[in-house]
Amino acid sequence: MKRIPLYIILIALIMLLGCGGSNPRDTVKSFVTHVVENDSTGIDSLVDWNSMITGRLQDMSPEDSSEAIVYHRGNFIESLLDSGSRRRNYLNSQIVIGKAEADDSVANVEVSFIDRTTGVQNYTKMLLKLHDDQWKITYFY
């Protein structure tokens, strides 16, 4: 059996993972790629920060809520970049993106993070909403 050169596999993977937005699963793949590549612009383009953060701050006044959005968005971005805790978790895991379920403008995508050292699996679902024909993440691990 003939072996496929590694660079061809890497190019195919980059092309596959780089195409985000057309469906929820592609969006999650692109998000994971952007986290691994430390790409803040890519991450920012795929997350609906307002929906994600205000969903957690339901009992706040609009003034407090807008301040909290800025604060928490900064914390989330920081955790996804450089040596942030979420990014370290992504880098230390084998990430398996499972099936997606969509209902009109809301979707969820199964994602498993398998620790490369211990083999412990953390299963979660990323939640997404459709905004202007693009899927945006409203919850991630």
Residue 125 CA to chain centroid, in angstroms?
Answer: 10
Give the pLDDT band (50/70/90) at residue 4.
Answer: low
Identify each DSSP E strand in the chain by its residue range.
93-103, 106-115, 121-131, 134-139
Q: Which domain holds residue 45?
A: 6-139
Reported as a single tens digit per residue, the pLDDT across 40-77 is 999 999 999 988 888 777 767 777 778 888 899 999 99
Which are the contacts of 38, defined by CB distance < 8 A and separation ≥ 6? Answer: 81, 82, 87
Task: Kindly report, residue by residue over 76-98, the tens digit of the pLDDT.
Answer: 999 999 999 999 999 999 999 99
Place of tokens 């909403």: 129
Would you call 117 exposed, middle or buried from its count of C-beta atoms within 10 A (0-12, 13-18, 19+)? exposed
For residue 12, what pLDDT is reported? 43
The whole-chain average pLDDT of the chain stands at 86
* 70 is a domain residue: yes
In a domain, 19, yes or no: yes
Give me the residues paired with residue 127 across strands.
108, 139
Residue 78 lies in a domain: yes
In a domain, 1, yes or no: no
Q: Residue 24: what pLDDT?
A: 98
Residue 79 lies in a domain: yes
Confidence of residue 17 (pLDDT cuts 50, 70, 90): very low
Domain count, the chain: 1
Task: Flag whether pLDDT at 35 surpasses 90.
Answer: yes
| Inside any domain, residue 110 | yes
Report the CATH number at residue 119: 3.10.450.50
Residue 59 falls inside a structural domain:
yes
- Three-class secondary structure assignment of 102-136: EECCEEEEEEEEEECCCCCEEEEEEEEEEECCEEE
pLDDT band at 10 (very low <50, low <70, confident <90, very high): very low
User: Does 34 fall in a domain?
Assistant: yes
CA 37 to chain centre: 12
Other beta carbons within 10 angstroms of residue 67's beta carbon come to: 12
